[in-house]
């Protein structure tokens, strides 16, 4: 099987990429398979910049085509926060549960109609000695008042996905990949980038 490398250390993302790339005939490798490679610092000011930083750094190291995902949650009542800081919203240790608690606390007393939010995903593709490309996808939703469901990862338990009428964490992997920000970005990648899929 062909192989595609994703510059991520996030287990939830890695699982989703495995499931989404399998039908395309790709086996996914991630930074979880290269444990001698350290953390790549996300110094950009947009999702796109951070995705490019991650993809290019690993692509240079391995001299291979690499995809990276920079994603996050944008809450309207918090002026778009946590945004690019989603992973470390409640502290450097990147704790999903603490991040969720912080969102719920900040939105205490905020009524449903003001709890609108979206997930955003930028995917960057770095190809050795070519310039990098990015695509993005979004998924509209609302922040719930409490956790629901046990699928997925990250902020999924408190994100009500409008298109499905359910919490993201109540969706099976197949259902999530019909509507997610990540799946939408990947769709565009398939259209735009024949180089990795030929």
Q: Please state the φ and ψ torsions of residue 109, each to the nearest 5 degrees.
A: 80, -5
Of 171, 53, 197, the residue nearest 119 (C-alpha): 171
Q: Which does residue 136 bind out of Mg ion, ligand ITT, none, counting CB within 5 to 8 angstroms by kind?
A: none
Segment 151-190, which members bind ligand ITT (CB under 6 A)? Answer: 152-156, 180, 182
CB 12 within 8 A of CB 155: no
By CB under 6 A, is residue 134 in contact with ligand ITT? Answer: no
Among 5, 9, 90, 143, binds ligand ITT (CB under 6 A): 9
Peptide bond into 122 cis (omega under 30): no
- Taking CB under 6 A as the binding criterion, the range among 19-27, 67-75, 106-114, 123-131 that sits at the site for ligand ITT is 67-75
By CB under 6 A, is residue 8 in contact with ligand ITT? Answer: yes
Q: How far is the CB of 96 from ligand ITT (least distance, A)?
A: 6
70 is catalytic: yes
Of 191, 63, 55, 28, the residue nearest 126 (C-alpha): 55
By CB under 6 A, is residue 10 in contact with ligand ITT? Answer: yes
Q: How far is the CB of 166 from ligand ITT (least distance, A)?
A: 14
130 is known to lie in a ligand binding site: no
User: Which lies closer to ligand ITT via its Cβ, residue 25 or residue 98?
Assistant: 98
Q: Calculate the alpha carbon distances from 75 to 72, 115, 141 in Å.
A: 10, 7, 9
Answer positive or negative: Cα dihedral of 98, 148, 161, 111. negative
Among 5, 69, 103, 125, binds ligand ITT (CB under 6 A): 69
Site string (91-130) toward ligand ITT, x via CB under 6 A: -----x--x-------------------x-----------
Q: CA triplet 187, 116, 19: central angle to 5 degrees? A: 30
Of the candidates 33, 39, 69, 70, the residue annotated as catalytic is 70
Please state, in angstroms and rounded to a whole number, the distance separating the CA atoms of residues 40 and 29.
16
Please state, in angstroms and rounded to a whole number, the distance separating the CA atoms of residues 18 and 20.
6
Catalytic residues: 70
**Site residues (CB under 6 A) for ligand ITT?**
8-10, 13, 42, 69-73, 86-87, 96, 99, 119, 152-156, 180, 182
């Amino acid at each position: 099987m062909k192989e595609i490398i994703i510059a991520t250390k996030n287990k939830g993302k890695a699982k989703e990429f495995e499931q989404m790339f399998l039908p395309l005939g790709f086996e996914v490798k991630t930074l979880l398979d290269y444990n001698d490679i350290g953390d790549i610092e996300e110094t950009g000011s947009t999702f796109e910049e951070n995705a490019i930083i991650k993809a290019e750094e690993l692509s240079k190291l391995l001299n291979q085509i690499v995809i990276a995902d920079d994603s996050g949650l944008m809450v309207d009542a918090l002026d778009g926060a946590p945004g690019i800081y989603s992973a470390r919203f409640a502290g450097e240790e990147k704790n999903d549960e603490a991040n969720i608690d912080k969102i719920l606390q900040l939105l205490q007393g905020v009524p449903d109609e003001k709890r609108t939010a979206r997930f955003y995903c930028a995917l960057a593709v770095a190809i050795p000695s070519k310039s990098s490309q990015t695509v993005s996808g979004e998924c509209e939703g609302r922040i719930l008042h409490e956790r629901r469901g046990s699928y997925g990862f990250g902020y999924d338990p408190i994100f009500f996905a409008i298109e499905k009428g359910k919490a993201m964490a109540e969706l099976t992997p197949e259902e999530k990949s019909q509507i997610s920000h990540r799946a939408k970005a990947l769709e565009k990648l398939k259209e735009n980038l024949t180089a990795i899929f030929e």
